[in-house]
Structure 1
Amino acid sequence: MDRVAELEQRCADAWPALVDEPLGQWRMRAANGFTGRANSALTTGDPGLPVPDALRVVAGFARSHSIGPTAHVVVGSRSEQGVAAAGWRVDVDHPGGAESLVLTGSLRAFASPKAEDVDVSAVPVPGWWELTAQDNPTPAQRHVLGSGAVVGFGSVVREGVVVAAARGAVVCDVLHVARLAVRPEARRSGLARALMGGLASWGLERGAARCALQVAEHNTAALRLYASLGCTEHHRYRYWIPRDVQR
């Protein structure tokens, strides 16, 4: 397995869909529409079928789970060539953005074991869901964000209110970080950086050495933060859909 496929698999393991079925080395995922990653076919490796046939299976899987047929495709990969040749197109109207960067970095570069007010717990503190998803999360949200072998719910609480939150999940040597959010009134005060430092220390204690972050290319504020922590672009991926599908 090449290094890009390996990292994509780690990220997929860290973001568990409600349904995750193999198609050769591809993974068909569904989670009632919650996030593109959990509702698309990860197309790294060989599906064991000609790509057009594999995409027909992907479309059938999507229909059976009431989601739109979507392929998660690494930019510049052999799979991308095959998906394009099969007549699919980039989903330029995807709600989360058509293209995302996968960033990696050394946890030791920004770990902060005494990060002020940062707590990483095995269960979400009251208010964590409201900031990262919604106050009354759906079963799909609870599964995707709450499942995994080693999951930590990072938070900063001030005067009884969660003002910053994020999710960390350790898979092998990778700490996958997602859903980082800071309340508008608390932004530009270093909370996101502190939260990342606390999560990095938590991940190091559990065997991780590097972080992985999947960030939409339009999220410039997040990209600036992660660059300042020493994270660099590893690769990119895009969402592809059948040419005749309209959002």
Structure 2
Amino acid sequence: MRDVTELEQRCADAWPALVDQPLGQWRLRAAGGFTGRANSALTSGDPGVPVPDALARVVDFAGRNGMAPTAHVVVGAPVEARVEAAGWRVDVDHPGGAESLVMTGGPAGFASPKAAGVVVADAPPPGWWELAAQRDPTPAQRHVLTSGDRVGFGAVLRDGVAVAAVRGAVVGDLLHVARLAVHPRARRRGLARELMRGLAAWGVEHGATTCALQVAEHNRPAIALYESLGCAEHHRYRYWVANHA
């Protein structure tokens, strides 16, 4: 099984924040409020200073970037008890849910290079932004979703316009999958499954041997889809906020 800290670091590389400041192995991230992952301190690994001091730096960083102090903490990791002891609390009101699964699998196991109607392009095709973010993306959304050494914009097109979308990024041998969405009028036709298969084939072509994705624990339909494709829970994380935030 891939090491949790290594996996979290690669997922962070695949989801680049506008500001990404190292603190030992921790990463202080800000991206204009677009997604919790890009606007929180990744606390996997050793920060190089005592945890209370590291959390104080998280608070300072958040203040300088106009955001609430937030820590991305792996459930059950030793640091979690230290974060709680420092007076932080689980963000039960987080828009994406208090807790998320990180699921992993082997993309070669479900890759299908002949997935009908699936394209994976170097630039977002028409209609992709509306599904993955919004019609007119913010600078932060553009940065997070388009940055990286190897990014693929997957879509199922109908009359040249995306009716299903997904983002893939290859970091080393890891395919990171995110922003899977299907237009309401095109649901229940198996498009999400076909799109995942096409993206997996693209990832394998670019050297991926493992795929990873993050999904909220309450999103049971998505979890069931990923499990049917051979993915399984690797670990969980949740967001903690300072009590005064």
Residue in 2 that maps onto 1:210: 210
TM-score (norm 2): 0.98
Shift of 1:151: 0.2
Q: Secondary structure at the match of 1:189?
A: coil
Q: Secondary structure at the match of 1:236?
A: strand
Shift of 1:161: 2.7
**Equivalent position amino acid for 1:94 in 2:** H
Query: Is 1:105 equivalent to 2:105 in the alignment?
Result: yes
Alpha-carbon distance between aligned partners in 2 of 1:159 and 1:147, rounded to the nearest angstrom: 28
Residue in 1 that maps onto 2:64: 64
Query: Is 1:136 equivalent to 2:130 in the alignment?
Result: no
Residue in 1 that maps onto 2:231: 231
Residue in 1 that maps onto 2:91: 91
Alpha-carbon distance between aligned partners in 1 of 2:17 and 2:73, rounded to the nearest angstrom: 17
1:36-81 alpha-carbon deviations (Å, 9 max, x no partner): 0000000011111111111010011011011111000000001111
**Equivalent position amino acid for 2:156 in 1:** V
Alpha-carbon distance between aligned partners in 2 of 1:159 and 1:148, rounded to the nearest angstrom: 29
Shift of 1:160: 3.1
Query: Is 1:177 equivalent to 2:177 in the alignment?
Result: yes
Alpha-carbon distance between aligned partners in 1 of 2:186 and 2:221, rounded to the nearest angstrom: 15
RMSD of Structure 2 on Structure 1 (CA): 0.8
Alpha-carbon distance between aligned partners in 1 of 2:19 and 2:162, rounded to the nearest angstrom: 31
Shift of 1:244: 2.6
1:103-158 alpha-carbon deviations (Å, 9 max, x no partner): 00011111000000000000001111011100000000000001000000000111
Which runs of no fewer than 5 residues in structure 1 stay unpaired? none
**Equivalent position amino acid for 1:240 in 2:** W
Alpha-carbon distance between aligned partners in 1 of 2:191 and 2:168, rounded to the nearest angstrom: 16
Shift of 1:21: 0.3
Q: Secondary structure at the match of 1:179?
A: strand
Is the Cα–Cα contact under 8 Å of residues 17 and 30 in structure 2 kept in the other structure? yes
Alpha-carbon distance between aligned partners in 2 of 1:160 and 1:11, rounded to the nearest angstrom: 31
Query: Is 1:153 equivalent to 2:124 in the alignment?
Result: no
Alpha-carbon distance between aligned partners in 2 of 1:16 and 1:177, rounded to the nearest angstrom: 14
Residue in 1 that maps onto 2:32: 32
Which runs of no fewer than 5 residues in structure 2 stay unpaired? none
| Identity in percent | 71
Alpha-carbon distance between aligned partners in 1 of 2:134 and 2:193, rounded to the nearest angstrom: 23
1:1-45 alpha-carbon deviations (Å, 9 max, x no partner): x70000000100000000000011100000010000000000011
Q: Count residues with an aligned counterpart.
A: 244
**Equivalent position amino acid for 1:156 in 2:** V
**Equivalent position amino acid for 2:65 in 1:** H
Q: Secondary structure at the match of 2:162?
A: strand
Query: Is 1:54 equivalent to 2:73 in the alignment?
Result: no
Q: Could you list the runs of 4 or more consecutive aligned residues of structure 1 that deviate by over 3 angstroms after TM superposition?
A: none
Residue in 2 that maps onto 1:42: 42
Alpha-carbon distance between aligned partners in 2 of 1:61 and 1:242, rounded to the nearest angstrom: 13
Residue in 2 that maps onto 1:18: 18
